[in-house]
């Protein structure tokens, strides 16, 4: 029971802080929710095992040597993973020579990269605008303080405290959302670059093997 009261007290304090921050807390809170959703979704979607399944290239090579890479197998391969999609694009054009294969792989790779970077611009935008929202809250809070001083003078600290509180809360909230958003934006950017390099390496191996340049 005591734990329940503690939890309710924490909720009440958080709600009071949000209200004290003024209306600018609404877009900041919305940005925080979107940021958390994007971070969770990208962690799930950018799993190395999902993007570049282990042994995929070797299984494709075995099917190729056995002459079993028909249209149905290529369609299944294309739908299996981003790497499978890139490999399928190259295999579908193997009869046109090495250069056409590479061009097909690069074209498919660009589409895959675009999908891997999905929502990252949203995360980067949140990392950029939330400090500005916090700064705007600071400016509005200071305007309120100076307006209160003009109307009531400096004799009543409570009048001034409301504006100062709003300024500090919005600034702290904006930074609290922006800092982790920026950190994860950079992390996912690096993750995408790493995955793209690995996919390029796997695709190049396949091209070289199919043209007898590699075992």
- Nearest Cα to 42, choosing from 122, 119, 101, 127? 119
Provide CB contacts within 8 A for 34, sequence distance 6+: 122, 126
Which of 190-198's residues contact partners 24+ apart within 8 Å by CB, and which partners?
A: 191/46, 192/46, 192/113, 192/116, 192/117, 192/120, 195/46, 195/48, 195/51, 195/52, 195/82, 195/116, 196/109, 196/113, 196/116, 198/48, 198/52
pLDDT of residue 7: 44
Q: What confidence score (pLDDT) does residue 212 get?
A: 60
Of the pLDDT bands very low, low, confident and very high (cuts 50, 70, 90), residue 142 is confident
Kindly tell me if the per-residue pLDDT of 10 is higher than 60: no
Contact 53, 83 (CB under 8 A): yes
Taking residues 114-118, what's their average pLDDT?
Answer: 89
pLDDT digits (tens, 9 = 90+) for 52-110: 888 888 888 787 777 777 788 888 888 888 888 888 888 877 777 778 888 888 888 88
pLDDT at position 87 is 84
Greater confidence, 160 or 1?
Answer: 160
Q: How far apart are CA 162 and CA 21, in angstroms?
A: 9
pLDDT higher at 4 or 184: 184
**Rg of the chain over all Cα atoms, to the nearest angstrom:** 27
2 pLDDT above the threshold of 70: no
| 138 band by pLDDT with thresholds 50, 70 and 90 | confident
Which position has the higher pLDDT, 178 or 18? 178
Place of tokens 């197998």: 73
**pLDDT (tens digit per residue) in 145-194:** 777 777 666 666 666 666 677 778 888 889 999 999 999 999 999 999 99
Tens digits of residue pLDDT in 32-41: 999 999 999 9
Question: What is the value of pTM for the model shown?
Answer: 0.80
Neighbours of 100 (CB within 10 A): 13
Mean pLDDT over 98-127 rounds to: 88
Domain map (residue ranges) of the chain: 24-128+177-210
> Per-residue pLDDT averaged across 34-52, rounded?
91
CA dihedral 15, 16, 22, 28 (to 10 degrees): -40
pLDDT of residue 8: 46
Kindly state the tokens that stand for 210: 């199919």
């Amino acid at each position: 029971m005591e734990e329940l009261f503690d939890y309710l007290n924490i909720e009440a304090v958080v709600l009071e802080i949000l209200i004290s921050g003024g209306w600018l807390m609404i877009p900041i809170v919305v940005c925080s929710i979107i940021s958390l959703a994007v971070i969770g979704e990208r962690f799930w979607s950018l799993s190395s095992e999902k993007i570049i399944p282990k042994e995929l290239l070797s299984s494709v090579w075995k099917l190729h040597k056995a002459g079993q890479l028909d249209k149905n197998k290529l369609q299944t391969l294309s739908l299996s993973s981003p790497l499978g999609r890139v490999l399928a694009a190259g295999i579908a054009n193997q009869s046109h020579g090495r250069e056409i294969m590479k061009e097909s792989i690069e074209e498919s790779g660009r589409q895959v990269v675009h999908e891997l970077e999905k929502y990252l611009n949203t995360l980067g935008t949140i990392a950029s605008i939330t400090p500005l929202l916090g700064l705007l809250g600071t400016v509005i809070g200071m305007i309120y303080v100076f307006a209160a001083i003009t109307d009531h003078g400096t004799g009543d600290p409570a009048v001034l405290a409301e504006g100062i509180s709003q300024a500090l809360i919005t600034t702290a909230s904006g930074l609290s959302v922006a800092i982790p958003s920026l950190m994860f934006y950079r992390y996912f950017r690096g993750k995408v670059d790493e995955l793209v390099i690995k996919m390029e390496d796997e695709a190049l191996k396949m091209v070289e093997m199919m043209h007898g340049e590699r075992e």
